[in-house]
Chains A and B, each alone.
Chain A
């Protein structure tokens, strides 16, 4: 454990960008957790007299077309967006890893059937598939999470499958059989811990994509419904005002969106360096 921490500290000090990403991540988490308690204005409170005022001392990020404080909305939206991302990635990770592990370890028909399921999902352009799922089932928060989970499932299944495949021939798996372990126990207690580091890296990378996905769905109107504060909707709302000069309505939510995705991608790279530097491309 201490060796991992030492290695982690080395990676973080070697690459300041990674340190920056971790710092940003901490900031985002703080916003999500504490944000709604600390924001100056109620994110849903509209004040049409103050509509479309630019950034000022009173309103750091300005106000939108309904006079709502953009700063408060952006901060509060962090919790929603991060929440959707984390939940859907957790689901994708849990189900995808289990499927992939079984396919890679047991092979045969298990591999073929799971392979076909995963291939089917991947045959669709993933965002379009998400759109389709949400459109069919309705725009509830739950459906957005499910849709995002489904489209991110294949990547975990594939990764878990490859890693399990490599390890099924390993000496410690045979040794485990000699110790009286059942196949199920070997997969879960012996093989899974070995592939976790790699899966964790993937989790971080997928989080960025999941946020983008949720925001994207909201942007086209298939996601979270107004007046909920969410980065995607806010960018959609603000898009129409850019031309007329009120740039701040779309800019700030877009900035946060970009920062979050950026942060998760960089964190994923950093985690990968900590876990296994040989994977660096």
Chain B
């Protein structure tokens, strides 16, 4: 069996919350943005990453694309330990071209003073040392691949439409022939009519160029259409992972179930499952208690054991991993008696 393209284990990113202790600034508390994440992405696989604001997915994305350094844990790419190379020096290494990213807001991620040509040419100049005619040829080839008419190459971002800017961002990312493409909400800023085209383009490129994707999105419907596997993140932890269709059809983690029930749909209201509301706010990511499950206090299946031992991500069914003491793996979800539900405390 071929080793996975990307292998992550025990990944942590902690940010110090500085406090003045005497006259020395010693960090007294730490914000756990990513708190022990493990995942794999295989060759040619499309993995979706979903989670709400504050779950740590932006931090995880920046760790995996090596823009920031982890506090602990390993990141192996194609067998090489890239987590050990500091972010500052990663840009000069061989792997830089192999992991690329498409950003959420194409307007923000394109230099307003660069033409589309220059934006796409930048990685080719820096990482492939192309110049002159070879550069021009490659830029035009990539523009063609992403459906960007070559007459638009001389335009600036403010002269391009949302869809065109998205294509420039994608062209720039695939120009250096990466193996892993991280897509951070690539279509959330686009109109629904343009979104379809871009998603189909991404799917097509994946097949043609043999790419692996990490597709981050808050739009669960889009993730379901595009992704083979899905990871659900909450408060710096991966709480569920499994094949996209299976997770959508029968979510095992209470948070995933609540998340899915909150997605609006056009279908008939009366036949839909009732919405599960998670009361209160997420627990604080600052110095979280390592014995308590991150969802404790909002979870409708919690018991006392959820606050004495934090559940680990374990395989509850073939291919399905959940970090929960009481995953929903039965055919029909049991009705939880009212007295077993934990009373809600706000915050902690």
Direct touching of A and B (C-beta under 8 Å): yes
Contacts of B123 on A, CB cut-off 8 Å?
A: 178-180
Residue A5 at the chain B interface, CB threshold 8 Å: no
Residue interface bits B165-183, CB-to-A below 8 A is 1, else 0: 0000100110000000000
Q: Which of B109-142 contact A (CB under 8 A)?
A: 109-114, 122-123, 126-127
Q: With an 8 A cutoff between CB atoms, is B97 at the interface?
A: yes
Q: Nearest Cβ distance between residue A174 and chain B, in whole angstroms?
A: 6
Chain A 168-182 against B: per-residue CB contact (8 Å), 1 yes, 0 no? 001110111111111
Whether the pair B91, A177 counts as a contact (CB closer than 8 A) is: yes
A190 touches B96 (CB 8 A): no
Pairwise interchain contact B113-A194, C-beta atoms closer than 8 A: yes
**Residue from A176, A177, A179 having most chain B Cβ neighbours under 10 A:** A179
Q: Within the assembled complex, what's the spacing in Å between the Cα atoms of A181 and B101?
A: 15
Q: Provided the pairs A171-B103, A174-B67, A174-B103 are in contact, do residues A179 and B172 lie with their beta carbons within 8 angstroms?
A: yes
- Determine the distance from Cα of A130 to Cα of B97 in the docked complex, in whole angstroms: 52
Residues on B with beta carbons closer than 8 Å to the beta carbon of A172: 108-112, 114
B111 touches A176 (CB 8 A): yes
Complex Cα gap A194–B108 (Å): 13
Verify A194–B112 contact, CB threshold 8 A: yes
1/0 per residue B77-90: CB within 8 Å of A? 00000000000100
Is B109 in contact with A180, judged by CB distance below 8 angstroms? no
**Are A177 and B67 within 8 A (Cβ)?**
yes
Question: Residue on B with the closest CB to A183?
Answer: B88
With known contacts A172-B111, A194-B111, A194-B113, A179–B105 Cβ distance under 8 A? no
Within 8 Å CB of A194, what residues of B?
A: 111-113
Give the docked Cα–Cα distance between A266 and B315 (Å): 72
User: Is A193 part of the binding interface, using a Cβ–Cβ cutoff of 8 Å?
Assistant: yes
Check B67–A179 contact: CB distance below 8 A. Answer: no
The listed residue with most A CB atoms (<10 A of its CB), out of B103, B104, B169, is: B103
Given A180-B91, A180-B92, A180-B97: A193 in contact with B67 (beta carbons within 8 A): no
Q: Are B127 and A175 in contact (CB under 8 A)?
A: no
Does B92 contact A178, Cβ atoms closer than 8 Å? no
CB of A174 within 8 A of CB of B109, answer: yes
Instruction: Indicate if the CB atoms of A178 and B65 lie closer than 8 Å.
Output: yes
Residues of chain B within 8 A of A3, CB atoms compared = 159
Q: Mark A1-38, 1 if CB is under 8 A from B, else 0.
A: 00100000000000000000000000000000000000
Q: Which residues of B are found within 8 Å of A182, using beta-carbon distances?
A: 91
In the complex, are the beta carbons of A171 and B126 less than 8 A apart? no
Structural contact, A181 and B111, CB atoms closer than 8 A: no
Across-interface contacts of A183 in B (CB, < 8 A): 88
Q: Which of A125-170 contact B (CB under 8 A)?
A: 170
Q: A179-B126, A194-B113 are in contact. Are A170 and B67 (CB under 8 A)?
A: no
CB distance from A92 to the nearest CB of B (A): 23
With A171-B103, A171-B105 known to touch, is A178 a contact of B111 (CB < 8 Å)? no
CB <8 Å contact, B91 and A181: yes
Q: Total interface residues on A, using CB and 8 Å? A: 17
Q: Is B217 an interface residue (CB 8 A)?
A: no
A136 to B337, CA, bound (A): 88
Cβ of B100 within 8 Å of any chain A Cβ, yes or no, is yes
Q: In the complex, which residues of chain A have a beta carbon less than 8 angstroms from the beta carbon of B67? A: 174, 177-178
**A180 pairs with B108, CB closer than 8 A:** no
A182 CA to B90 CA, complexed, in Å:
10
Chain B, residue nearest A1 (CB)? B156
* B contact residues around A180 at 8 Å (CB): 91-92, 96-97, 123, 126-127
A194 to B96, CA, bound (A): 26
In the bound complex, what is the Cα–Cα distance between A171 and B101 (angstroms)?
11
Cα of A175 to Cα of B107 in the assembled complex, Å:
12
Q: Quick check: A175 and B103 within 8 Å, CB to CB?
A: yes
In whole angstroms, what is the CA distance A182 to B126 when docked? 9
Q: Given the complex of chains A and B, what is the CA–CA distance between A193 and B122 in angstroms?
A: 15
Taken together as a complex, chains A and B put the C-alpha atoms of A230 and B91 apart, in Å, by: 54
Within 8 A of B (CB), among A169-212: 170-172, 174-183, 190, 193-194
Contacts of B169 in A (CB 8 A): 175
**Contact indicator A178/B113 (Cβ below 8 Å):** no
Taking the nearest CB of chain A, how far is it from the CB of B151, in angstroms? Answer: 15
Looking at the assembled complex, report how far the CB atom of A104 sits from the nearest CB atom of chain B, in whole angstroms: 17
**A172 closest partner in B (C-beta):** B111
0/1 interface trace, chain B 139-173, chain A, CB 8 Å (1 if under): 00000000000000000000100000000010011
Roughly how many angstroms separate A171 CA and B111 CA in the complex, as a whole number? 8
Which listed residue, B100, B109, B113, touches A171 by the CB 8 Å rule? Answer: B109
B114, chain A: closest CB distance, angstroms: 8
Distance in angstroms from A165 CB to nearest chain B CB is 16
Instruction: Write out the residue numbers on chain B whose beta carbons fall within 8 Å of the beta carbon of A178.
Output: 65, 67, 96, 100-101, 123, 173
Which of A3, A171, A183, A193 lies at the interface centre, i.e. has the most chain B CB atoms within 10 A of its CB? A171
- Supply 28 A–B pairs (Cβ within 8 Å), ascending by A: A3-B159, A171-B103, A171-B104, A171-B105, A171-B108, A171-B110, A172-B109, A172-B111, A174-B109, A175-B101, A175-B103, A175-B110, A176-B111, A176-B122, A177-B67, A177-B91, A178-B65, A178-B100, A178-B101, A179-B126, A180-B92, A180-B97, A181-B91, A181-B122, A190-B111, A190-B114, A193-B113, A194-B112
Other contacts beyond A175-B101, A175-B172, A180-B91: 5, CB < 8 A:
A170-B108, A175-B109, A175-B110, A175-B169, A178-B67
User: Which are the 3 A-B pairs with shortest beta-carbon distances?
Assistant: A171-B109, A171-B108, A180-B126
